[in-house]
Structure 1
């Protein structure tokens, strides 16, 4: 009697194979681009090195989600076109992180100096002229732009290996994703400086818009839909993908917001309470306004965005988020979103291996400590 393969085990093995193929392609790509820019100047490879270093440190969540969206829609196992398309998402992610760290004035990323701080360090060590911080930001902006260019380059290469209609459908989602992320980034920095709405519900609506367009759709929904579209999925299937993936993306970002305040720096790679120092107007902060006293909320509003906060002040903000019910409410929202996503995934018309692959990544996105 033939033993029925375990879908989760089969998905895990295939996911590992895909990750190896993705890493090999990225290594080859970076080697080629490093050689190309070295023909221009021996100073230029530092740009490529910075992107490669940042790209190598991630969990490949978006790339892997796009691959399992592809497989869920019937795409071929480890197809070269999909590996290239997934690699383009990794490079888009790197660009977004580089620019995000500049906007947030973040010193670290994944436990290492952020790209602009690393360029600033190089300037200082070399004893170059003028302002080191300005050089760091300038070089990082250009590095992020280069990573965006690389992302476009790889997606275009993938497109040549696919039927025209499939490529066009995937490209439309890819283009929408890029625009939405930029708008989401702007809404994020706008919320940090614009007057805070007095109505707590309006605060939450604004925070959820940032969450959805800066992160949730781009981190989960769009990657799954891009992969499925490139495999030829119809509109009904793509809508079902969204019904599963958007709740996962929102839960993913809500978990990130919690970790930005309560996470362990040794596992998150960011200083404790970094979101408070950066002035992030997250859903967690908005929910404080619904349960905190006027005095506490006024204090929190004056505290957000101060880079000189003491550990005691960070702890006071954490305590307020707990006693106001904001943390409990956020955990409840995450639970509701996960339940919705689980139901939608269970009814997604696909094979059990692809379903297991998507389930594993959804679990990793929302049940994490970093």
Structure 2
């Protein structure tokens, strides 16, 4: 059975784990300090594009540092986490363009905001802005207080992360043009590349690689993070169809309007009866699908038991992550934090 959200612990404080609020605050301060040195017309909109996120990736990066035995003075990991937040914001800008999304974090997506200010040029301007933010992400890495050995190790992991996430985005867009996709393994592989590994696995591996040249620690955290990253993406699939827009900051049903190839839809296509397929074919992938159309699709998914099946898949991956953590050579406070983060990432509501 899924863990009730009310039972998921709040972010641990310094008394029983790592102080995640401190990590978020310090990361935000590094981002603010970086933007204080930026000038030009894109500085303000790009600073705003980095605001309002949950900072999963910076938190996981710094937790990875501590899990690998990094010293309490964790500035190297915090700076690397700040760079990840900039890279994430750049990906969101481009992702919203690809998805033709109207909003992000409860406000207009950057390409929509720029289109209102510069009619006919919003998409192009947002592409340029996203590219610049990705460049600034790399600049933050180069400015971080890292030794030459740390920088060499980090560059290798970042290169792999970036290639994987771009290839995942490409494969997802290509899949979305093929009509109904019933191959669950194929969809999960794309989700791992585009979201799960990028959101969970690589931040943890980056932080632990930064702290230790011993490959055993990043490898152990990798075994914990991969199933957790899958659970994270499966939760994202559910939230994309059934979330409360007031909580998630995104209109409900956008994944259906986009025709995004998700595990949720793969399971539905595989088991839908002819009349249920007709409903899905009529509305999935239609940008102008109404709220009533989305509700029809939701009813089909619920009748097929798809949300419950996704919850079971999340449970299985959460348990695998926890089992892997038991074998990982993580230090006490970091282990406590990773145990709690597993529940928070798998069973979040936004």
CA displacement, residues 263-318 of structure 1 (integer Å, 9 cap, x when unaligned):
01111111111111111110000001232113322441342211111222111111
Residue 214 (structure 2) pairs with residue 234 (structure 1): yes
Unmatched 5+ stretches in structure 1: 1-6, 38-43, 124-131
CA distance in 1, matches of 2:19, 2:248: 27
Is residue 91 of structure 2 the alignment partner of residue 96 of structure 1? yes
How far does the alpha carbon of each residue in 1:190-246 deviate from its partner, in whole angstroms, 9 at most, with x for none?
11112445xx3xx21221122111100000000000000011142222211111111
- Structure-2 residue corresponding to 1:40: none
Q: Is the 8 A contact 2:164 2:194 kept in 1?
A: yes
Residue 110 of structure 1 contacts residue 268 of structure 1 at CA under 8 Å; is this kept in 2? yes
Tell me the distance in 2 between the aligned counterparts of 1:146 and 1:332: 40
Aligned pair 1:71/2:55, yes or no? no
How far apart are residue 321 of structure 1 and its match?
Answer: 1.1
Distance 1:11 1:143 in 2: 41
In 1, Cα distance between equivalents of 2:317 and 2:18: 28
Structure 2 counterpart SS, 1:10: coil
Structure having the larger proportion of residues in helix:
1
TM (normalized to structure 1)? 0.87
1:146 aligns with 2:125: no
Of 309, 314, 323, 1:334 maps to: 314
Per-residue deviation, 1:248: 1.1
Asked if 1 retains the 8 angstrom alpha-carbon contact of 2:200 and 2:225, the reply is: yes
Question: Is 1:320–2:304 an aligned residue pair?
Answer: no
Query: Partners of 2:274 and 2:187 in 1: how far apart?
Result: 20
* Alpha-carbon distance in 2 for matches of 1:306, 1:78: 51
Change (3 A) 1:71 1:341: same
Cα pair 2:301 2:307 within 8 Å, conserved: yes
Q: Indicate whether 1:18 and 2:2 are aligned.
A: no
Cα deviation per residue 1:171-206 (whole Å; 9 max; x = unaligned)? Answer: 211111111111111111111112445xx3xx2122
Q: Does 1:169 align with 2:149?
A: no
SS in structure 1 of the partner of residue 38 of structure 2: helix
Q: Say if 1:86 and 1:139 are closer, same or farther in 2 by CA, change over 3 A.
A: same
Query: Cα distance 1:11–1:165, how it changes in 2: closer, same or farther (>3 A)?
Result: farther
Q: Which structure ranks higher in relative contact order (CA pairs < 8 Å, sequence separation ≥ 6)?
A: 2
- What is residue 325 of structure 2 aligned with on the other side? 345
Partner of residue 225 from structure 1, selected from 186, 205, 228? 205
Distance in 2 of aligned mates of 1:298 and 1:192? 18
Note the 1:266-345 alignment, pairs <5 A: 266-345=246-325
Which ranges of structure 2 fall in alignment gaps of 5 or more residues? Answer: 1-11
Q: Which has the larger radius of gyration?
A: 1
Q: Deviations over 1:25-44 (max 9, x none)?
A: 1111101013xx3xxxxxx2
Whether the 8 Å CA contact 2:93–2:109 is kept in 1: the answer is yes
TM-score (norm 2): 0.92
Compute the RMSD of aligned alpha carbons. 1.7
- Whole-Å separation in 1 of the counterparts to 2:281 and 2:160: 33
**2:46 is the alignment partner of 1:51:** yes
Which residue, 106, 114, 119 being the options, matches 2:109? 114
Query: Hey, what's the Cα distance between the residues in 2 that align with 1:157 and 1:331?
Result: 42
Query: What is the CA deviation profile of residues 77-135 of structure 1, one whole-angstrom value per residue up to 9, with x for unaligned ones?
Result: 24222221111100000001000000000000010100101111223xxxxxxxx1x31
* Maintained 8 Å contact 1:8/1:353: no
Alignment of 1:86 with 2:81, yes or no, is: yes
Find out whether 1:27 has 2:32 as its counterpart: yes
Structure 1 distance, partners of 2:261, 2:253, is 13
How far off its partner does 1:11 sit? 5.5
